[in-house]
Structure 1
Amino acid sequence: MRRPMTVGHHNQAVTLIEMLVVLGIIAVLASLVVTLTLRVDSQSKERALDSVFGLLNTSLREYYDVRGKFPEQPVRDARNLALDHIELAVKELRSVPDSRAVLEQLDASLVKSQAGDPDIAEIRDPWGTVLDYVYEHADGKGDTFPELISAGPDKTFGTGDDISSKAR
């Protein structure tokens, strides 16, 4: 009796090499997705910071139009030891109605009131760090525009990723 000839007996198993190639491809694709997601998140936070800088700069202009000067960068003393420069500047900006109206347009998640006083508020960047307000006038007349500084993604001032309103 003759045995029927089997046509193309094919092994259905997957080799270790094939599995490693597939896992390598999956790892590369996953790293690309993570990288793109982080970049998109970073860009959206930078756009949000641009919006905050824009509103604060508008509020500063409104204040200047009424008072003829910008809020001073106060020296810390016993009265304001616990407050940041931005808190003291915001308190001053809120004393002018048009400036206050602009400040009220800020995203509420970035504004944190202190000590139960709505006029004393921290303005935070999208990374959660309090902004800094720097005002150094060149000739004593206060004719230069104040600078707002974000610590950036690393949340530490004085590093290379700090973001300034003057650089925007």
Structure 2
Amino acid sequence: MADRLTKGDKAPDFTLSDDQGGSVTLSDLRGRKVIVYFYPAAMTPGCTKQACDFSDNLGTLRGEGYEVLGISPDKPEKLAKFRDRDGLSITLLSDPDKKVMDEYGAFGEKKLYGKTVEGVIRSTVVVDEDGTVSDAWYNVKATGHVAKLRRDLGLDGKD
């Protein structure tokens, strides 16, 4: 597992397949702030809650200059079903070999039901307009994370 990213680190660039048959390259989004969040699996209760929260807040986030990218190891076809089933408006990206997750410190050992397992560590990294990490959170909770993120980014009260 790679080290976790911290404020001031250069965000590793990546190109991943999206949920609509295209691809997204992080460096193509320079000039915008990007919230990159990692989640274990599409169409599971916690990941659905988190994706719906991000979608519900996307207008406010975009209004403040943020783009949102959700990354999981799911294949693009499953991500498309997830998007359609839950009416998601955020961009979902596929990282089946977990290379990007590893580079961001979002894959490795974690506790699950009292056992140590290897898997996706629910994480959020905010990348500034120049491609530098401005914030990073690891082992976040699916429920309530977007509200906390809004507070931490100073966006509360902006709808």
Q: TM-score, normalised by structure 1?
A: 0.27
**Structure 1 or 2: more helix by fraction:** 1
**Structure 1 or 2: more strand by fraction:** 2
Q: Which has the larger radius of gyration?
A: 1
